[in-house]
Structure formats: C-alpha cells, structure tokens
Structure 1
Amino acid sequence: MNYRTLGVIAFTALISACSTRPTGPITPPPENVQAISKWETSGRVGIRTQNDAVSGNFSWQKAPDTFELNIVGPFGQGATKLDQSVDGAVTLSYEDTVVKGNDPATLLQQELGWEFPVQQVTYWIRGLASPNSSATITKNADSQLPNQIEQDGWLITYSNFTKVDGLSLPQKMQVSNPPFKVNLIINQWTIQ
C-alpha cells in the first residue's frame, strides 16, 4: 500500500466517524424559559452576610423533584453541599458536619447563618419571578428581559444575559435583602 491509499482510507474513516448519528432519543430544547424542566449551571459566587463574606465557585443541578448545589471556596477550601432527594429530604454537608431536614432555606439559616431562599432562587436564576407570591418586575425596554425583580423582600438585579439554545438566561445577577447579598456570575448553562 502506498501513502495515497493510506491517506484515502484515513480520510474515509474520519468522514464516516463525523457523520455517525447518536443513538437513543434526542430531547428537543425547551421552547421558552418557563418550559425548562432540568438545568445545570456553574460559575462564581460571592456571599455576604452581616458577619461574613464568602467567595468561590458553584455548580447547581436542578431536576423537577431534586437538586444539588455545591459551593467550593478558593483552592478547594470550605466546601458546602446542599441537596434534595426525590422524597423531599434535604441534606446540608459542610466541614465535617452533615445535617438533614425538610427545607433547604431553613437548614442554611440555622447552620450557616445564610439567608438564601432556595425555592425562589430556582426561578430567579432563570430570570423568572416565583409563581408562589406577588412580584414587581422591571424590564429592559428594548429586550423585554428583566432588569429587576422585587419579591418576598428580595431585590434581584440582572446585569447580563446570555443565549442558551436560543433562550436568554442570566449570566450575571445579584440577589439581595440587606445585610444579605449573593452575586452570581454564571459561566455555563445546560438546559432541558
């Protein structure tokens, strides 16, 4: 065999590898932000309380009945994990402590002194008001995307959005209810 024949065989193998179709069902992307049923996001987080300031990286996986939120400080220090299983049980793990309960916001408040309305934030992180209480939404006149949401005593401010599968999702936001403040810079979104 000469080099030309080897080149043709290699090129043919490369083309056929690129044209293979994935097996199994393909989930179409959601039609709108409200239709997102499952998502994963990651980025940077800054948390300020009355007595403390924490910064680091976060990752958050959310499905209809479960979630897992991980916050890791600089150099892997101060890892905090909050998750909810299908049966509704919530587990908070930090340092050498594991605490179980039924409400994620209550566990964070009792154990770490963090006020973080987890149920509402699952909507706010997508640029939506929670449907469980009234809200005041201020939108950008051009894009019609929210600039601010005021809900349940919290002010959510959006300063940047990004396109994900054709949908506009927050990339930079702040959730505040003084003295508590959370800044999120979202580097990655995966949605279904």
Structure 2
Amino acid sequence: MIYRFLSTLALVLLLAACSSNQTGPTTPPPQSIAAISTWETSGRVGIRTQEDAVSGNFTWQKSPTGFSLDIIGPFGQGATKLKSTTDGQVTLAYKDTEITGPNAAILLQQELGWVFPVDQVSYWIRGLAYPQTPSRMTKNSDNLPNKIEQDGWLVTYKNFTKVDGLSLPQKMQVSNPPFRVNLIINQWTIQ
C-alpha cells in the first residue's frame, strides 16, 4: 500500500515538474528607438483623402523580414489588409479583391486612392525620420520629436508613451494636403 502511494506521489511530482513553465533566455529590450527590430502596434486610424474619409482600427506588425498592416472599419466593416510576401512583393486585400505588386504605397494609391507612404510611416510611427531621404525634425524640451518634415509630408506628434523605458508616439498626424492620417496608438510591443 505504501509502495503504491509513493509511486503515485512520484508520478504526480514528475508530471508537475514537466508541466511547469520553464523560462529560457529572454531578449533584453532595445536600448534605443533606432534599435527596435520588431514591433507591433494597434489603435485607431482616421484617413482623409480628397474625396473620402475613412476611420477604423488598425494593427501593424513589422519585423526585419516583412510587415502586416490591417485596417478594419467601424463595426468590423471594410477590412483592408496590406502584407509583404516572402518574395519582396506586397499584397493588398480589400472587399473581394486581392492584388499584388512591388510597392505598398503605389498599391494603396492605385486601388484605394489613398496616398500613404508606408515605408516612411514605418519610421515616423516610432518618432524617427526615414533614413533614405532628407528631413527636418524639431524636438520638444524632453528631446522628443514635435515635427518631422520629409518627402512633402508633415508629421506632427501630440503624445508619447513609455514602453520598456523608451518614449514612443501615442498620438500623431501625418499630412500632405489633401491627404491626412491620424493615428491614436493604444498598444506597443517592441523587441
């Protein structure tokens, strides 16, 4: 009887040890905004064009190998999905249409009439100037960007939030009249 009890107890302890959460090495948070290699953000977006105004929720994931940007209209209506593919192409899906091309900004303009410089905004959303073209940046007293002027666009930062000790934009506007995009970021995840 005691042998059976001890055997059962040993088995329970062994199973408990196997099922416990084992933690391996963790990736330390980035030391600077520029060091962020992978990020995910979500929030609200408002897009104004010459003929239209669209609002909804967005989720944007970016890694060194690609990105995925989803914009979903109010009450889940009008989903627009933009995603890079492994062969360097970009796929745009909206309504019952899916189209692939070499450049996200061109696809958005041709298909939806939206002028949205995706490559640049992937830097601006972190409070950085796009490194491929000249820019002019002004900063506030906390050394955070107030404005970035680049490629005909004006990026205005309204609020910042702390994420792993780094200040990242929480509310911003990207404009090049008649086009304007307002972003309110509810959540950041960075690596």
**TM-score (norm: length of structure 1):** 0.88
SS at structure 1 position matched to 2:110: helix
Residue matched to 2:8: none
Match of 1:171 in 2: 170
Report % sequence identity.
72
How far apart in 2 are the matches of 1:100 and 1:51? 24
Distance in 2 separating the partners of 1:110 and 1:25: 46
Instruction: Give 3-state SS (helix, strand or coil) of 1:136's partner.
Output: strand
Q: Aligned equivalents of 1:183 and 1:74: distance in 2?
A: 15
Counterparts in 2 of 1:85 and 1:178: CA distance versus 1, 3 Å:
same
Aligned-partner Cα distance in 1 for 2:46–2:182: 5
Q: Does 2:152 correspond to 1:153? A: yes
Mapping for residues 70-109 of structure 1, pairs under 5 Å: 70-109=70-109
Q: Equivalent residue for 1:64? A: 64
Residue 132 of structure 1: aligned partner: 132
The aligned counterpart of 1:12 is none
1:45 matched to which residue of 2? Answer: 45
- Rg larger in 1 or in 2? 2
Distance of 1:83 and 1:176 partners within structure 2: 23
> Structure 2, unaligned stretches of length 5 or more?
1-19
164 and 100 in structure 1: CA distance in 2 versus 1, 3 angstrom threshold: same
Residue 65 of structure 1: how far off its partner (Å): 2.0
Q: Quote the Cα distance in structure 1 between the aligned partners of 2:35 and 2:100.
A: 30
Q: In the alignment, is the contact (CA less than 8 A) between 1:65 and 1:88 conserved in 2?
A: no
Report SS of the residue matched to 1:108. Answer: helix
Cα deviation digits, residues 9-36 of structure 1 (max 9, x gap): xxxxxxxxxxx76423311100000000
SS at match of 2:120: helix
Give the structure 1 partner of residue 110 of structure 2: 110
Alignment deviations for residues 83-139 of structure 1 (CA, whole Å, 9 cap, x no partner): 002321100000000000010000000000000000000100000000101101010
How far, CA to CA, are the matches of 2:152 and 2:89 in structure 1?
26
Cα displacement (A) at 1:70:
0.2
Please tell me whether the aligned partners of residues 65 and 85 of structure 1 are also in contact (alpha carbons under 8 angstroms): no
Q: Which runs of 4+ in 1 moved over 2 A?
A: 20-25
Of stretches 23-32 and 104-113 in structure 1, the one that deviates more from structure 2 is 23-32
Contact kept in structure 2, 1:174 and 1:183, CA below 8 Å: yes
Could you say what the CA RMSD is over the residues aligned between the two structures, in angstroms? 1.4
